[in-house]
Amino acid sequence: MVAKVIKNDREYEAALERIEALMDAARDTPEGDELELLTTLVEVYEDKHFPINLPDPIEAIRFRMQQAGLKQQDLVPFIGSRSKVSEILAGKRPLSLKMIRALHQQLGIPAEVLLREPGGKIPEELPNLQCERFPLKEMARRGWIAAQQQGASKLKDQAEELVRQFLRPLTVCGIKPGLLRPRQHVRSGSTMDEYALLAWCVRVIATAQQQSVADYHPANLAPEVMQRLVQLSYLDSGPLLAREFLGKNGIHLIVLRHLPRTHLDGAAMMLSSGKPVVALTLRYDRLDNFWFTLFHELGHVKLHFEKDKDACFFDDLDVDPEGLEVQADEFAQNSLISPMDWQSTSARHERTPHAVLQLAHALRVHPAIIAGRIRREQKNYRLLASLVGQHEARKHFPDAEKGDSG
């Protein structure tokens, strides 16, 4: 027969029969060479289809304990506590990467056995990250991570594995988590939880990666384009139409509820594809907040990304602006209502619902935009409360908490 790669069981059985027929062949003869080649091909097929099972990790640990005369309490430094040791040895708790790393380094148990993966190697620890500090419980509740076991303690045990999987969108973008934070601009009146902020940012990026948008060019944010965008606010489905409009102009619009201790209204960042991402949290469920935050983040894209495409902006708009934030606020304010229109209107002085509605109709924009402008300038958030579109923003993005509103 002509020796060739074995592709199925029929060819495998035929090769075994031929090997049996050639068992007495002498070396360095055509039959001997055929026997040697067939034997190699069979071994390759068997390694792929009939691998030798690795020892069970728990059995390997018990065997090593017996060899070294160790008791359960001697495993505490490697596993974490007596109760965890008992659960691990009883098969009630999975080994974490942290445990596997310690058992391999300190007890010499092969990595491939502990990983249950032939030839497996234990990955190095993630640099500059404390995985257990991520808001794992909330991330699991929202479906951002797939935890094998629930409960704060068990989630912390799985922290490294869960975070590694969760951070993959950054790897796809060519971003290293340790390099993300130094380039970000955070506008916040409170201390941001940097791990919650990073988790939110990664989820935004992952959602954007699933979204298809057109090519982006800075001209896509020209004043006439912004004018068409703001006039979408006049329509009942304005927020959804804004997402579609921005997508056709190469900009991702992601709506994702903020995580606790992040105090976020919105963010702006650039993907490695060269396409901007604008993300809104709808922390305040009002249309005036939706439109102002949207244009504020577009201001960062328009004004600041050409100089620094690696920057990220995270904004709590309750905080008084400084520096670049002043510029983004002014961009939003002037894009939503032109300075000429604002200076010439009586609505800014009268501050009545009638005046606001009249101006909104003339400009073909939602009254919430005008009411919000008056409230911000007067610093009086009791004014015109009936016109700011209370409870009218989130309804357009029902999946925003999970991060599926991309």
pLDDT at 179: 39
Q: 103 pLDDT exceeds 90?
A: yes
pLDDT at 150: 63
Please compute Rg for the chain using Cα positions.
31
pLDDT at 405: 65
Closest listed residue to residue 267, CA positions, set 304, 230, 242: 304
Q: What residues contact residue 166 under an 8 Å CB cut-off, 6+ apart?
A: 134, 139, 144, 145, 199, 202
pLDDT at 178: 47
The mean-pLDDT minimum among 67-81, 156-170, 209-223 falls in: 156-170
The mean-pLDDT minimum among 310-319, 367-376, 397-406 falls in: 397-406
Q: Is the dihedral of CA 259, 261, 265, 266 positive or negative?
A: negative
Q: How far apart are the first and last CA of the chain?
A: 59
pLDDT at 50: 66
Q: Which residue has 């699991």 as its token pair? A: 140
pTM above 0.85, yes or no: no
Beta strand ranges found along 141-197 (DSSP E): 184-187
Query: What pLDDT band is residue 171 in, cutting at 50, 70 and 90?
Result: low
Distance CA 181, CA 34 (A): 62
Q: Are 251 and 290 in contact (CB under 8 A)?
A: no
Phi, psi of 174 (to 5 degrees): 80, 20
Distance CA 295, CA 336 (A): 8
Torsion of CA 42, 45, 49, 52, to 10 degrees: 60
Q: Are 356 and 371 in contact (CB under 8 A)?
A: yes
Distance CA 314, CA 201 (A): 9
Of 228 and 156, the structure prediction assigns the larger pLDDT to 228
Specify the amino acid at residue 123: P
Torsion of CA 360, 365, 367, 369, to 10 degrees: -120
Distance CA 105, CA 88 (A): 18
Q: What does the pLDDT look like over 310-368, one tens digit per residue?
A: 888 999 998 988 899 999 999 999 999 999 999 999 999 999 999 999 999 999 999 99
Phi, psi of 75 (to 5 degrees): -90, -10
